[in-house]
Structure 1
């Protein structure tokens, strides 16, 4: 192998990666998208700013949660639930950390034989240990407040950037002159703030309140970042700004409803959640598939034949639509609770296990003749 092979291989990979037919329609080259005659185009090299911007937003979030959200939580009287004292036990702690956090009946019986504890006492210990790992109400409030403020700011910024653009009212204008569409300063900042925000959410997922749709959240954030990055490079920026504004509109109400619910303004929170549900179904299940995806799937064919980027962009939009359908089911369940029972926080959250629930489960597990013993040890 000659020393020049790795550079040649890298050059070949680079040429293939930036092959114009992957990113651009036929008869369009990268040379056509070079800045000239007062026209400025988006460039792939500009995407490097997203990472430092994400860390800046994480820092801003840190300051916001401590200097704004936390004092607001105090004003609203939001306090973390008092958690019961956990008995110190090295055997159970080791089992919890290395083997399982949720026990099967066989696991419970094995630990009871090993330690001489009652089944209920072991189950209560594991329940309390799991609760100690769960975030408190104030953390949930602060996180929801930050997301609500960002979505509101981003949505207002998006409307300001779009309200005077012809493609905001006529989607066929999205493709007028594509891809030779000059980049606007408002589009630049709107794009990079949104990309930085979603990357910051992806980086903080392991530290934020864990939800049941954790994997779906990861897929959503990755799909969103991929879509935004690809649309930036291929100059799908006009439709990208419309997609972002469409998504932010409903997210404001969801986070706002959660903030009010944590503050125990339940009636107001429920009203906003009902409005959010209607807006979510309208924007994600009607406008997004039948207007936006129709715009990206049908209208471009009037100007150029399909190419790889055309298919890739639309497939990623379909991935988002599948996630919309999944969340629509969750939201419908939450709406049912909101209307017919009581909405407690977010159905996706990893909620604390209640003592009464544990006690009921314990009684059911002991109906086979094993007495419920050790009340004083359990509580």
Structure 2
């Protein structure tokens, strides 16, 4: 197996520039550590450890904090237990067509409107609560903040942080420090844990883009480590972490109803995101990998593959920048952020209609609603009569 991998996967022309052999990258103990693919095997148990830690974190820290920030969950009507509809919901579709609604109505002896109501309640029943969304945002906020702080502390004194040409000086024989090794391993383990939990996390409109982002990030981190693009790779990770933790804390405050602070953070996040992802990332990092690197070695497979992954990330940055600019437009012309453009996959209309729907409510609930409306109408009538009577009394002396 090792001979097969060496022959097909670890071929020198894939990973290092022409004219250099694997023997040329070997280092002595006093020279430092050269990245080896086997180092990445630790990311899988680390990802599982992140998932377990997140489970404990949610219950001991995130949920109690959500209560302190007054995060409230919407009360939803549970769909009635109808086995045929439940089977169709899970196996076929969550939003049946008109013909399917008519067919299901005949099978269950229900009207078309009641079928629509049942599916609306069932979809809303699966929607994530604000507490769950808060816990997810808080977990990411803590990691991104710690990663950005640690990454900045380990990179600010390095020469390639200020001059990107230093990313390639002496390549590929560049030792990796212990801090940057753990920075890589922890980042890759975290993104792997996000990919493993993608089916249970909150699904948003950009769900597919998020999956592509996680996969591209994992390939980017793994390949850049094996090809020893560690110096530029640490800059890429630091740049992404710089705005991510601002976004997550803004989400947390949004779920708690802290609108004014959330709007202010949204403006800060928008500025940081647009500057780092649309200006710094293409002009500094992609430029150094595409252009400046050619001053130090000839192009090879790793050069093309690495730059393709960076361009995929840049395409995602443009997509998210479009969503952010839409929110900025709403903020400027409506005075507030009316909602996350990356909101849950189901539309908010379902929840609004659920609050107004009365077909599936109990008669007691409908009776209370009717009585309250009648009382309101009666009060209005009494007030109108009293007002009219006062106006009549005021006019009587003048008539006399």
Regarding TM over 0.5, the answer is yes
Q: Deviations over 1:131-150 (max 9, x none)?
A: 11121110000000000111
Q: Secondary structure at the match of 1:100?
A: coil
Offset from partner CA, 1:183-242 (integer Å, 9 cap, x none):
111101111110010000001101111112222111111111111111111110000000
Rounded Cα–Cα distance in structure 1 between residues aligned with 2:146 and 2:280: 22
Aligned counterpart, 2:344: 349
**Partner of 1:137 in structure 2?**
130
Change over 3 Å in CA distance of 1:196–1:373 after alignment to 2: closer
| 1:23 equivalenced with 2:15 (yes/no) | yes
- Number of the residue aligned with 1:69: 62
> Counterpart in 2 of 1:54?
47
Give the secondary structure class of the aligned counterpart of 1:38.
helix
TM-superposed CA distance for 1:331, in Å, is 1.8
- 1:244 maps onto 2:237 in alignment: yes
1:23-76 per-residue CA deviation (whole Å, 9 max, x = no partner) reads 001222111222316122111111100101111111221121111111101111
Deviations 1:105-144 (A, max 9, x none): 2222222333332322111110111111121110000000
Q: CA RMSD in A?
A: 2.4
1:255 aligns with 2:262: no
Specify the alignment match of 1:3 in structure 2: none
Which residue is 1:85 aligned to?
78
What is the alpha-carbon distance in structure 2 between the residues aligned to residue 345 and residue 65 of structure 1?
23
Give runs of aligned pairs for residues 293-372 of structure 1, distance below 5 A.
Answer: 293-339=286-332, 340=334, 341-345=336-340, 347-351=342-346, 353-354=348-349, 357-358=352-353
Contact 1:261 1:345 in 2 (8 A): no
Describe the SS at the equivalent of 1:205.
coil
- CA deviations 1:275-294 (Å, max 9, x no partner) are 11111111111111111000
Farther off after superposition, 292-301 or 90-99 = 90-99
Change (3 A) 1:337 1:103: farther
- The 8 Å contact of residues 124 and 351 in structure 2, kept in 1 or not, is answered as no
How far does residue 152 in structure 1 lie from its aligned partner after superposition? 0.4
Residue in 2 that maps onto 1:283: 276
Instruction: Provide Cα deviations, 1:227-277, integer angstroms capped at 9, x if missing partner.
Output: 111111111000000000000001011111100111110111111111111
Unaligned segments of structure 1, at least 5 residues? 1-6, 363-371
SS at match of 2:191: helix
CA distance 1:114–1:178, change in 2 (3 Å): same
Q: TM-score, normalised to structure 1's length?
A: 0.89
Q: Larger Rg: 1 or 2?
A: 2
Distance 1:355 1:228, change over 3 A: closer
Contiguous gaps of at least 5 residues in structure 2: 367-400
Shift of 1:336: 3.1
8 Å CA contact retained: 1:131, 1:352: no
Structure 1 residues 225 and 110: alpha-carbon distance in aligned structure 2, compared to 1, 3 A threshold: same
1:179 to partner: Cα distance: 1.1
TM-score by length of 2: 0.85
Task: Supply the distance in 1 between the matched residues of 2:215 and 2:360 (Cα, whole angstroms).
Answer: 49
Counterpart check, 1:233 vs 2:226: yes
Equivalent residue, structure 1, for 2:208 = 215
Check 1:274–1:180 CA distance in 2 against 1; reply closer, same or farther (3 A cut).
Answer: same
Quick one: distance in 2 between partners of 1:130 and 1:183?
A: 50
Distance 1:302 1:330 in 2: 37
